[in-house]
A and B are shown apart, each in its own frame.
Chain A
Amino acid sequence: MKAFTVSKAVTALMLAGLVLLPLYSQLSGNIFILTLFTRIVILALAAASLNLIMGFGGMMSFGHAAYLGIGGYAVGMLAQEGVGSGFIQFPVALAASAIYALVIGALSLRTRGVYFIMITLAFAQMAYYVASGLARYGGDDGLTVYKRSDFSGLINLSNRTQFYYLCLVCLFGVIFLIWRIVNSRFGLVVQGLRSNEQRMQAIGFPAKRYQLVCFVISGMMCGLAGALLANNTDFVSPAVMYWTRSGDLMVMVILGGMGTLFGPVMGAVVYLLLEEFLSQITEYWALIMGPLLLLIVLFGRGGIMGLLGRLNRG
């Protein structure tokens, strides 16, 4: 193993940038950039959770945005009912995501390949319609979260910098957890199942059970991102769960580099910055973004991480 690689250097640079961002925002007086990056960090967390099952587990979930919505609605609904404590809201968000993932995963994992992609997509659409039907909680129009989660004065979520660091700590925590999972015996089994399920089963591993546990963990991580997102926008609506949102998450993972630890973070940063940048140049930014994605698929194998790896080899 080489000690220094280009991708390691770029990753370290990116992480340092994320840590120091509030400082830059304060010094330059650019508050907008902190708001933008809070969103980026939260969606990077969601992308990292998707990467756990997609990159390492080979399970291509096309309905991951559902957890964003479930986590978000858990916070929003509890806030509406007068339960403002984050110590209740966040565990409920995680539990709700876990239960949803357990049911959806148990059903979806009976299928494979394209069927799996489509069934996860369809179930997320179902969650979308359920949220649209919640008349008590805003229905189609969505639900305004009037008060951010209250952590008994430990962290103030209304303070931009504190909230940003909370999101960043969550992101780093999740990535650390993914790193531990991937290198554990459990993670090795899941990765083994990706390459050859039959062989793993023949050795005696209950394949579906391992995959389901991994699926649920990933769902919970994404539910956490959802709870943070609801606090960030002070609003949650069915649109968070719409299937194109799941597509966005997938794009971030693949753009950054599927199956790499920091690829999804890089993908989220690049994708969302690109979106921001292009939308400042032209109102019709998607006209450029769309074909760009096509080109990335055609020529950019392994995403940004893959590209950096090739740079290193010269």
Chain B
Amino acid sequence: MLLVIEQFLNGLQFGLLLFLLAAGLTLVFGIMDLVNLAHGSLYMMGAYFAATFAAWTGSFLLGALLALGATLILGIVLEMSALRHLYGRDHLDHVLATFGLILFFNEAVRLIWGPAGLALPLPAWLTVPVPILPGIHYPAYRLAIIVVALLVALLLYLGVMRTRIGMLIRAGASNREMIGALGINIKLLYTLVFGLGAALAGLAGLMQAPILTVQIGMGENILILAFVIIVIGGIGSIRGAFLAAIFVGMIDTLGRAFLPNLLRQILSGAAASTAAPALSSMLIYLVMAIVLVVRPEGLFPANRR
């Protein structure tokens, strides 16, 4: 029972982290119609920035804040220097150009930080177990990730649905010529949206950094997961991304935790221990396949016609 609750929380935490990544991806795609493969690189940069700034300042929180700002700026610079020229082009061009950016970022990181990974140690107050239910403790840091990600999700929702900028963003998503004609600086709006997406990816990266090692290419695996999420949720839909992210996070975590035991009940020990890792890695792709067979546009398509 204890293990089940803990794994559920782990799944929720991983799902929320994936949401931060998927939200930026789906926002940029839904509004600017830009497929950004380099989104995972921004996640990686967030982690590297955090590890570096935390080491400089000696404070985890300060390092995280500085890293967040740095990814925001990096995103804005990236949009203004390169991606801006890709709007209105074929999706294939986006894929190719941002693939080039992945190569660039990986190599730049190797050049600046070296090929070995970095570690981002947690401050003592974040490593203590917190009692969440009588007799059940959960690591404070993972709890903090859940809280921060939920807060960001709420802010994002309110920001997009309730503010003037959010209204412009939604308007820009459905008709970019119209909003430009109304005298809105659409260039600036796009730059802001991209910066926001980059900051979200950076936030996911810096929060994940103390759990994993900070290393080159760390954004690539998780980027695929983010793709799976926005495909399941429906591209361009933040609500879809949120629900699908939690769903995928849960399936992935619970699958890894319980599938081996489950298989051992059916198969022989050796066969089960061979099949389990592969099957639990595949699980979410199987889910995606099933979802797409039933609903090719994802579960919550953004533009229902």
Q: Which residues on the A side are within 8 Å of B105 (C-beta)?
A: 290
Choose one: B89, B100, B224, B296; the contact of A292 (CB below 8 Å): B100
Sorting the interface of chain B by its residue count into under 10, 10 to 19, 20 to 34 or 35 or more gives: 35 or more
Is A298 interfacial (CB 8 A cutoff)? Answer: yes
C-alpha gap A297/B38 in the complex (Å): 15
CB of A27 to closest CB in B, whole Å:
36
Q: Is the CB of B97 within 8 A of A298?
A: yes
Q: Is the CB of A297 within 8 A of B101?
A: no
CB of A58 to closest CB in B, whole Å:
10
Closest-by-CB residue of A relative to B217 is: A244
Q: Which residues on the A side are within 8 Å of B182 (C-beta)?
A: none
Closest-by-CB residue of A relative to B231 is: A118
**0 or 1 for each of A277-300: is its CB under 8 Å from B? (1 = yes):** 000000011110111111011100
Closest-by-CB residue of B relative to A126 is: B285
C-alpha gap A250/B206 in the complex (Å): 31
Closest-by-CB residue of B relative to A285 is: B107
The B interface is mostly helix, strand or loop, or mixed, namely helix
C-alpha gap A286/B104 in the complex (Å): 6
Q: Is the CB of A254 within 8 A of B92?
A: yes
C-alpha gap A190/B87 in the complex (Å): 28
Q: Is the CB of B111 within 8 A of A133?
A: no
Is B167 interfacial (CB 8 A cutoff)? Answer: no
* A118, A136, A297 pick with most chain B CB within 10 angstroms: A297
C-alpha gap A294/B104 in the complex (Å): 10
Q: Which residues on the B side are within 8 Å of A247 (C-beta)?
A: 37, 95, 99, 102
C-alpha gap A293/B102 in the complex (Å): 11
Q: Which residues on the B side are within 8 Å of A54 (C-beta)?
A: 92
C-alpha gap A113/B82 in the complex (Å): 23
Beta-carbon contacts under 8 Å, B282-305 to A: 282, 285-286, 288-289, 292-293, 296-298
Q: Which residues on the A side are within 8 Å of B285 (C-beta)?
A: 122-123, 125-126, 129
A254 in contact with B96 given A110-B292, A244-B220 (CB within 8 Å): yes
Beta-carbon contacts under 8 Å, B142-179 to A: none
Is A119 interfacial (CB 8 A cutoff)? Answer: yes
Closest-by-CB residue of B relative to A54 is: B92
**0 or 1 for each of A98-137: is its CB under 8 Å from B? (1 = yes):** 0000000001101101110111011101100110111110
Beta-carbon contacts under 8 Å, A239-278 to B: 243-244, 247, 250-251, 254, 258
Q: Is the CB of B102 within 8 A of A290?
A: yes
Beta-carbon contacts under 8 Å, A21-40 to B: none
Beta-carbon contacts under 8 Å, B254-305 to A: 274-275, 277-279, 281-282, 285-286, 288-289, 292-293, 296-298
Choose one: A107, A130, A243, A254; the contact of B292 (CB below 8 Å): A107
Q: Which residues on the A side are within 8 Å of B103 (C-beta)?
A: 286, 289-290, 293
CB of A213 to closest CB in B, whole Å:
20
Q: Which residues on the A side are within 8 Å of B137 (C-beta)?
A: none
Choose one: B86, B227, B282; the contact of A297 (CB below 8 Å): B86
Q: Is the CB of B100 within 8 A of A297?
A: yes
Q: Is the CB of B100 within 8 A of A290?
A: yes
Closest-by-CB residue of A relative to B227 is: A118
Q: Is the CB of B274 within 8 A of A294?
A: no
CB of B37 to closest CB in A, whole Å:
8
Beta-carbon contacts under 8 Å, B105-161 to A: 105-108, 110-111
Kindly list the 5 A-B residue pairs having the minimum CB-CB distance in the complex, ordered from nearest.
A133-B278, A293-B100, A290-B104, A290-B103, A129-B281
Chain A residues within CB distance 8 Å of chain B: 54, 60, 62, 107-108, 110-111, 113-115, 117-119, 121-123, 125-126, 129-130, 132-136, 243-244, 247, 250-251, 254, 258, 284-287, 289-294, 296-298
12 CB contacts below 8 A, A to B, read A60-B91, A62-B95, A111-B296, A121-B227, A125-B224, A126-B281, A132-B278, A133-B274, A247-B99, A290-B102, A291-B104, A298-B85
